[in-house]
Structure 1
Amino acid sequence: MSATDEDLRPYFDAAATGLTFNSPLGEQRAAALIDRVQPLRTSSRVLDLGCGAGELLLRLCERHGLDGDGVDNHAADVGAARNTAAHRGLERRVTFHTTDATTWDRPADIVVNIGASHIWGEGPAPALEALHGLTNPHGNLLFGDGVYEAEPDAVVREAFGNLPDLAGLARIATDAGFRVLHAATSTQGEWDDFESDWRAGIERLATPGARAFADRRREEYLGGYRGVVGFAWLVLTPA
């Protein structure tokens, strides 16, 4: 994280307080994705790399009766995840680790990586190659990442980089050694709700700086990347 990003960390932390999932993910899609990811055995373990506050990991473990590990290098997120696990009585089944997810070397039957591919480098290819080695044969990877759904202008491309479209992301996953079992993108409604709730968390700080930051984000979204940047959801299995 750059010095500039560190300066903005209080805003990003505040934004997360208004979210169930720190991604454009609605309740209906979350439930459907969890059902699509099927454990191989009753002893299957779930691994979420870049887990944030751990909501999706906890729901996966609850739904399938599994144990799991969540890995994130942001201590505040890990602390929140542990508190939530304790509140739901899952603290003995789900363990959260404050560490660099790229150093994790224990494979699992179900692996999750949502909006955190960047920790392995630029673009989804390095992440998918690393995640292939961490997904047991016949297991599932639930992968979420940004894509372009329309041609970006120069400003949007500079901000988001050279994202693939959905078909391109599926090809990258195949090249990394996966078969694509499910591919979809968030709806516009999911994006609108996510962006609004994200900004609402910042608005609650009620400082001039926070309001200016929220105003910039609103203009960037509504006047820039809305309908252009999408979020893809893939369920993959090693070939």
Structure 2
Amino acid sequence: MDIPRIFTVSESAHRIHNPITADKLATLGAALRMEAGARVLDLGSGSGEMLCTWARDHGIGGTGIDMSPLFTAQAHRRAVALGVADRVTFVHGDAAGHVAAAPVDVAACVGATWIGGGVAGTVALLERSLRAGGIILIGEPFWRRLPPSEAVAKGCLAGAIADFLLLPDLLASFGRLGFDVVEMVLADQDGWDRYEAAKWLTMRRWLDAHPDDAFAPEVRATLTAEPVRYATFTREHLGWGVFALMRR
């Protein structure tokens, strides 16, 4: 069980696998006003930076589930490095359908709503693990401005314009699901640049170290195309944020 190899190559040096910076992640943790001992479930936990830093900074505990064995191993190492391995657990597995054994205070899926078939399905999945009065965290892209054509949407790596909403429409959609939006932290341009541009050096160094790997042509093609694609499409049109929800 694994994610596509291009991600484990291009994001192998990332600690955060979405366009949010460490400062923004810390801002989100503080904004949630979690008490020491709170339990957090993170579906699609990547390299574990959210759980590990929040365990260090706020005394929370929790579990992360991720399909990537590489990222899960990195999460284990990060927990040890930050001295929180006794409070957070990381499991290599499929987060789709995962429900916590006991209700949690915060149930999160930050940047992987495909596990529930979209935002609505992922919110419903997370709610199955949530205690009454708990908080759901959803990380999701939105259009900063609507693409002028389907071709531009595809340039942003969306399947179609309809894949994402404008920010006001995304916020309204949470209300239609029966939730109050109680916080949000949005990625800024620097967060996007750090997430995307950091991949390029990682891919170049991988290519230099693995010139004869059968996967090298795909990595080379990605590295060649990505800077211009990102600057032309994603950087201009796509936003991203984490939204905190509570059941009405």
- When normalised by structure 2's length, the TM-score is 0.85
Identity of aligned residues (%): 26
Matched, 1:146 2:141: yes
For residue 127 of structure 2, the aligned residue among 127, 132, 138 is: 132
Match of 2:52 in 1: 58
Following superposition, which runs of at least 4 residues in structure 1 exceed 4 angstroms of deviation? none
Q: Could you tell me which residue of structure 2 aligns to residue 226 of structure 1? A: 235
Partner of 2:66: 72
Worse-matched range after superposition: 183-192 or 51-60: 183-192
Instruction: Check the 8 A contact 1:129/1:176 in 2, yes or no.
Output: no
Measure how far apart 1:53 and its partner are: 0.7
How many Å separate the matches in 1 of 2:28 and 2:19?
A: 13
Residue by residue over 1:119-151, the C-alpha shift from the partner in whole angstroms, topping out at 9 and shown as x without a partner, is: 111x32211222233222222222211111111
- Partner of 1:48, secondary structure, is strand
Alignment partner, residue 173 of structure 1: 174
Q: Does 1:31 align with 2:23?
A: no
**Contact 2:28/2:185 (<8 A) preserved:** no
CA distance in 1, matches of 2:78, 2:86: 12
Look up the match of 1:20. 15
Counterpart of 1:232 in structure 2: which amino acid? G
- Segments of structure 1 that go 5 or more residues without pairing to the other structure are none
Alpha-carbon distance in 2 for matches of 1:43, 1:190: 29
Aligned residues of 1:184 and 1:234 also touching (Cα < 8 A): yes
> CA-to-partner distance for each residue in 1:134-173, whole Å, 9 max, x for gaps?
2222222222111111111322324313201111221222
Once the two structures are superposed, the pairs formed by residues 199-214 of structure 1 within 5 Å of their partners are: 199-206=200-207, 207=211, 209=217, 210-214=219-223
**What amino acid is aligned across from residue 150 of structure 2 in structure 1?**
A
Structure 2 unpaired stretches of 5+:
none
The range that moved more, 134-143 or 77-86, is 134-143
Matched, 1:196 2:168: no
Distance 1:19 1:76, change over 3 A: closer
- Whether the 8 Å contact between 1:137 and 1:237 is mirrored in structure 2 is no
Offset, 1:42: 4.2
CA distance in 1, matches of 2:20, 2:199: 12
Aligned to 1:114: 110
- Cα–Cα, structure 1 residues 186 and 42, in superposed 2: closer, same or farther, change >3 Å? closer
Partner of 1:89: 83
In the superposition, the TM-score normalised over structure 1's length comes to 0.88
User: How many residues matched?
Assistant: 232
1:79–1:20: structure 2 CA closer, same or farther, 3 Å change rule?
closer
For residues 206 and 199 of structure 2, what CA distance do their matches in structure 1 show? Answer: 12
2:168 partner amino acid = A
| SS of 1:101 mapped into structure 2 | coil
Compared CA separation, residues 187 and 99, structure 1 to 2 (3 A): same
CA contact (8 A) 1:37 1:110 kept: no
Query: Is 2:38 aligned against 1:44?
Result: yes
- Residue 247 (structure 2) aligns with: 238
**AA in 2 matched with 1:164:** L
Please give the alpha-carbon distance, in whole angstroms, between the structure 1 residues aligned to 2:236 and 2:131: 36
> Which residue of the other structure, out of 224, 233, 236, is the alignment partner of 1:215?
224
Alpha-carbon offset, residue 98 of structure 1: 1.5
